[in-house]
Structure formats: C-alpha cells, structure tokens
Amino acid sequence: MDVRYNDEIYFGSRPIFGSAAPQLDVPAPEVRERPQEKVSIRTNTKAAPKQGISLFAVAGWACAIVLAVSLLTSYIELNIIANESYELKETLEALQVEETKLKIEYESTFRLDEVEEYATNMLGMVRADRDQIKYLSNNTVDKAVVVANNNVETGFSARMKSLFTTIAEYFK
C-alpha cells in the first residue's frame, strides 16, 4: 500500500497478523533530497496597513452627539421655562392678594347710605314704588351660532407654512 503526501512516495507496511516482525521482502523507501530554497532578506520593509475608519461610523457618532447635545439643550430650556413659570405663579398670587385688598378699599370708599342721601337731597331722586317696578321673564332658550372662518387656506403651501411656523415657535 503506498500513500502519497505532497507528491512524495512513501511505502507503508502491510498488515501484520500475530507478529510484529518486519517483512523482509519490502524494499527500502527511496530517499529524495529536497531542493534548497533560497532565503532572501528584505531590506525594504513596509509598515502594516492601517485600518481605516468607516464613514458611516463617523456619521453615526456625529448624529449621536448632535442628538445628545440637542437633548441637553432641551432640558436646559425646559428648566428655564419651569423656573419662569414658577416665578410668574408667585407674582400672580401676590397680585391677586393685592387686588383683593384694593377692591376692599375701593368698596369701602362708597357707602350706599351716603349715595342714597346724596341722590335724594341733592339730585331730587325718589325711590320707586312697588307699582313702578316691573319684572320681565323670558322662557325662550338662549342660543349661539358659531360662524366658520372661510378664509382658512387648506392647500399644501398653507400646511407647509403652518409646519414651519410650529417649528419656529418651538425653537423660540
């Protein structure tokens, strides 16, 4: 049985049954010498090529950074608006208290008995009798009519204008 490895021929032994003695009728394998390879030393060595950075990776990181920065600026603007609204609520409460005080002061300046005395003595007015007072009752139901605005534009340009206006109001 012969086996071939890399175009070189090697002879194997035949199966042996019951004895480990080599067979004498097998010829010795032929030994061939390999040709000597020339070894050359390179003096001009090149550096290993550098691995490039993908343009998509750079674009992805840039988008991620832009989104992170816009998120941070949005939170900053949200905090600023929240602080302003808190200050405005405090101011509103203070103004409502002041309004209540001013209404009390205003109403205390006019006394109804003084007004009535002035009207009867100085202006010559007289109180109305029961016969002169008439009460009106109306059993009809109140109703209102909403008039639609017919000047509203519904075209593509109007929608785009509305979109840009909404975006501009968001960034103000």
pLDDT (tens digit per residue) in 150-172:
666 667 888 888 888 888 887 87
For residues 92 and 86, give the distance between their C-alpha atoms in angstroms, rounded to a whole number: 10
- Among the residue ranges 3-12, 64-73, 83-92, 93-102, the one predicted with the least confidence is 3-12
The tally of CA atoms less than 13 A away on the side-chain side of residue 115 is 6
Q: How confident is the model at residue 8 (pLDDT cuts 50, 70, 90)?
A: very low
Report pTM: 0.34
In the chain, the amino acid numbered 81 is I
pLDDT of amino acid 114? 84
For residue 28, the model assigns a pLDDT of: 64
- How high is the mean pLDDT of the chain? 79
Mean pLDDT confidence for 44-69:
86
